[in-house]
């Protein structure tokens, strides 16, 4: 699972609450916007499922390539993503 210490190029990560994770978990490989930039959510389902039994934290990874190959997430999911604070490689922490 990615950590804030290992953010790869073209990638962003954010910590999710349990409530946010419950909303996002079924949208693995869906396109969302992070700071206006389209990216694909990578949800490590084996680490998140079942959400109720998983220990915090929930780490959401977004990659900014191959977005054209994936469906767009619903607006309700984008609204959850908009609440998150992402760390993007190259940005100050």
* Burial class of residue 35 in the structure, from the number of CB atoms within 10 Å of its CB (0-12 exposed, 13-18 middle, 19+ buried): exposed
Instruction: Give Cα 23 distance to the centre of its chain.
Output: 11
Q: Tell me: the pLDDT tens digits for 45-58?
A: 565 567 777 777 78
Q: Tell me: the pLDDT tens digits for 1-38?
A: 444 445 556 899 999 998 998 899 889 999 999 999 99
Round to whole Å and give the CA distance between 93 and 70.
29
pLDDT at residue 63 greater than cutoff 60: yes
Which token pair is 29? Answer: 């490989």
Residue 8: what pLDDT? Answer: 57
Round to whole Å and give the CA distance between 3 and 23.
21
Q: Which residues pair with 67 in a beta bridge?
A: none
Residue 92: what pLDDT? Answer: 54
Identify which has the larger pLDDT, 2 or 90: 90
């Amino acid at each position: 699972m990615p950590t804030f210490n290992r953010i790869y190029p073209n990638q962003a990560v954010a910590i999710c609450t349990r409530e946010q994770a419950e909303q996002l978990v079924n949208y693995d490989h869906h396109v969302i916007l992070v700071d206006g930039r389209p990216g694909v959510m990578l949800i490590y389902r084996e680490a998140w499922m079942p959400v109720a039994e998983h220990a915090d934290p929930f780490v959401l990874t977004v990659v900014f390539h191959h977005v054209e190959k994936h469906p767009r997430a619903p607006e309700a999911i984008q609204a959850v993503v908009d609440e998150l604070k992402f760390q993007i490689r190259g940005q100050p922490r």
